[in-house]
Amino acid sequence: MAANEVRNNTPVVKGTRISVHSIHGRIDHGDTIGDVLEENPDLPRDAIEAALAYARANPLVGRPGGRPWQA
Protein backbone atom coordinates (compact mmCIF):
# COMPACT_ATOMS: atom_id res chain seq x y z
CA MET A 1 0.00 0.00 0.00
CA ALA A 2 1.38 3.37 -0.97
CA ALA A 3 -0.17 5.16 1.98
CA ASN A 4 1.57 3.51 4.91
CA GLU A 5 3.14 6.51 6.60
CA VAL A 6 1.37 9.17 8.63
CA ARG A 7 1.88 12.92 8.93
CA ASN A 8 -0.35 14.96 11.22
CA ASN A 9 -2.71 11.99 11.59
CA THR A 10 -3.13 11.84 7.82
CA PRO A 11 -1.72 9.01 5.66
CA VAL A 12 0.92 10.04 3.15
CA VAL A 13 2.36 8.42 0.04
CA LYS A 14 5.34 6.28 1.06
CA GLY A 15 8.63 8.14 0.89
CA THR A 16 6.98 11.55 0.50
CA ARG A 17 5.18 14.18 2.54
CA ILE A 18 2.22 14.21 0.15
CA SER A 19 -1.02 13.28 1.90
CA VAL A 20 -3.42 10.94 0.18
CA HIS A 21 -6.22 13.43 0.81
CA SER A 22 -4.32 16.28 -0.90
CA ILE A 23 -4.01 14.14 -4.03
CA HIS A 24 -7.69 13.25 -3.80
CA GLY A 25 -8.59 16.94 -3.40
CA ARG A 26 -6.59 17.92 -6.46
CA ILE A 27 -8.29 15.27 -8.60
CA ASP A 28 -11.73 16.23 -7.27
CA HIS A 29 -11.09 19.87 -8.12
CA GLY A 30 -10.12 19.32 -11.74
CA ASP A 31 -6.48 18.24 -11.87
CA THR A 32 -5.63 15.03 -13.68
CA ILE A 33 -3.29 12.27 -12.61
CA GLY A 34 -1.01 13.61 -15.34
CA ASP A 35 -0.96 17.02 -13.64
CA VAL A 36 0.07 15.43 -10.34
CA LEU A 37 2.74 13.34 -12.10
CA GLU A 38 4.09 16.41 -13.89
CA GLU A 39 4.68 18.19 -10.56
CA ASN A 40 5.99 15.00 -8.89
CA PRO A 41 7.98 13.12 -11.55
CA ASP A 42 9.48 10.67 -9.02
CA LEU A 43 6.04 9.55 -7.89
CA PRO A 44 4.87 6.34 -9.58
CA ARG A 45 1.43 6.39 -11.18
CA ASP A 46 0.32 3.38 -9.13
CA ALA A 47 1.12 5.29 -5.92
CA ILE A 48 -1.28 8.04 -7.01
CA GLU A 49 -3.96 5.50 -7.88
CA ALA A 50 -3.50 3.75 -4.52
CA ALA A 51 -3.69 7.10 -2.71
CA LEU A 52 -6.94 7.91 -4.49
CA ALA A 53 -8.43 4.54 -3.62
CA TYR A 54 -7.42 4.94 0.01
CA ALA A 55 -8.76 8.50 0.26
CA ARG A 56 -12.09 7.50 -1.30
CA ALA A 57 -12.46 4.54 1.04
CA ASN A 58 -11.44 6.60 4.10
CA PRO A 59 -12.89 10.11 3.75
CA LEU A 60 -11.84 12.86 6.12
CA VAL A 61 -14.18 13.47 9.02
CA GLY A 62 -14.97 16.94 10.25
CA ARG A 63 -16.54 20.18 9.26
CA PRO A 64 -17.18 20.73 5.57
CA GLY A 65 -14.98 23.28 3.85
CA GLY A 66 -16.08 26.42 2.12
CA ARG A 67 -19.09 28.53 2.94
CA PRO A 68 -22.19 26.34 2.61
CA TRP A 69 -24.48 29.31 3.29
CA GLN A 70 -23.38 30.93 0.02
CA ALA A 71 -24.56 29.56 -3.29
Per-residue pLDDT of the chain (71 residues), as tens digits, is: 444 566 667 899 988 989 999 999 999 999 999 999 999 999 999 999 999 999 999 998 877 666 656 65
In a domain, 15, yes or no: yes
pLDDT at residue 63 in the model = 72
Kindly report the pTM of this predicted structure.
Answer: 0.75
Domain membership flag for residue 69 = no
Domain-embedded: residue 71:
no
> Residue 31: which domain range?
5-57
Q: For position 65, what pLDDT does the model report?
A: 66
Count of domains for the chain: 1
Asked if residues 45 and 13 have their Cβ atoms less than 8 Å apart, the reply is no
Helix, strand, coil percentages, rounded to 5, for the chain: 40, 10, 50
Pick from 1, 15, 17: nearest CA to 57:
1
pLDDT of 56? 95
List, in order, residues 6 or more apart from 52 with CB less than 8 Å away: 20, 23, 24, 27
